[in-house]
Amino acid sequence: MPLSGIRILDLTRLLPGAFCTMLLADMGADVVKVEEPGGGDYMRWTPPIVEGQSVLFNALNRNKRSLTLNLKSEAGRDLLLGLVDRADVLVEGNRPGVMDRLGLGWPVLHERNARLVMCSITGYGQDGPMASRAGHDINYVAIAGLLGLNGSKDRPPVPLAAQVADIGGGGLQPAVAILGALVGVHRGGEGRWLDVSMTDGAVSWLALGLAQMAAGEPVARGDHRLGGRYACYRVYECKGGGYYSVGALEPKFWTELCTAIGKPELVDLQYATGDDGERTHRAMEAVFLAKTRVEWDRELAGLEVCCEPVLDVEEVASHPQIAARGLISSGPGGVEVRPAVLMRDDWRRRDAPGLGEHSAEILAELEVDEARLASLRREGVV
């Protein structure tokens, strides 16, 4: 596997850091999830619970090992520092300043291991007036401008169905940055501290909208280039409920669609706005309301029109394309999505670990024997 031999210490909780380190574990990294004794990651106990563990935790923590350490104790910090000496990456998700107060900040870790990559995932970054402010995904996308664009122009903003800031800004973004930093170390450079802001990540997803706005093009909820302005890129309701997505951006696709639905007069109105645009929207709405979603499936099958049904979550796993790719599997721990980019050569899946399941084997690397481990457990360190 590409990351075999890379050791990652994961001190994060909840979704963002877990998604980040899962991506790296799926590529072969040895991810050690460092958790607080007694409770561990809060997500372990977030309903629904199956066989004593949250299905949400199981979905994000495959292929990892779990070590319990009380980092508020001197002994716990000393053990972590011993692991830092042997690690390639440390990922943490505390508010700015917490690691320094624990005696585990970047200057301390870098002095011990100059090749270490430290990644700090926070809501707003290490500096700025909101750096220490609490928040969650909905707050980050609100500040980033994404939430304000989501929904219809005559209705309030609608929360995004997927956690764009958590997963995009706090999962994908740090994973890419970590890989880049590791390449730098591999080429002879030193490790570095990565300041990852989930809000920054969400703002980066708005790059096209910001560019359009800077050029003088309006960008508003329900009325922007890919958000409801044009009839060729919209969601339409079907007869009897259900919806269809239309993404016929290129003229050839729009022309074929207009021909297929018997509306050739709309071909030249693909990007119409104002009164013409409104009439085009109304015409398309009437067309799609005339048939059910299933009927549109049959009508548009085999055509080059960039139109697909809007599936409910319970329909996704059985869709022929998703099933053919083997993306979703079911098991005792719930439903799981396999790596979107699969390392097909020798990828293997291990279940998410129990709390502290691997403490003994990991601490054995630091010559902690059974007697010492028992003592550490009595003291609440492990």
Q: Helices marked H in 152-246 — which ranges?
A: 173-186, 198-204, 207-214
223 is annotated as an active-site residue: no
Q: Which of 136, 223, 297, 351 is labelled catalytic? A: 136
Instruction: Give yes or no: 166 in active site.
Output: yes
Q: Residue type at 278?
A: E
Q: How many C-beta atoms lie closer than 10 Å to residue 171's C-beta?
A: 26
381 by Cβ neighbours in 10 Å (0-12 / 13-18 / 19+) ranks as buried
Looking at residue 98, what DSSP letter applies? H
Whole-angstrom Cα distance, residue 221 to residue 239? 26
For residues 86 and 82, give the distance between their C-alpha atoms in angstroms, rounded to a whole number: 7
Dihedral of alpha carbons 214, 217, 221, 226, sign: negative
| Residue among 137, 166, 195, 200 flagged as catalytic | 166
Q: Is 122 helix (H, G, I), strand (E, B) or coil?
A: strand
Q: What angle do CA 207, 211, 217 make, to 5 degrees?
A: 130
CB-CB contact of 18 with 58 (8 Å): no
Three-state secondary-structure class, residue 200:
helix
What residue ranges in the chain does DSSP mark as E strands? 7-10, 30-35, 49-50, 53-54, 64-68, 89-92, 117-122, 193-197, 233-237, 243-247, 307-309, 328-331, 334-337
Strand ranges in 85-216 using DSSP code E only, listed in sequence order: 89-92, 117-122, 193-197
Quote the tokens at residue 357: 């399941």
Rg (CA), the chain: 25
List active site positions. Answer: 136, 166
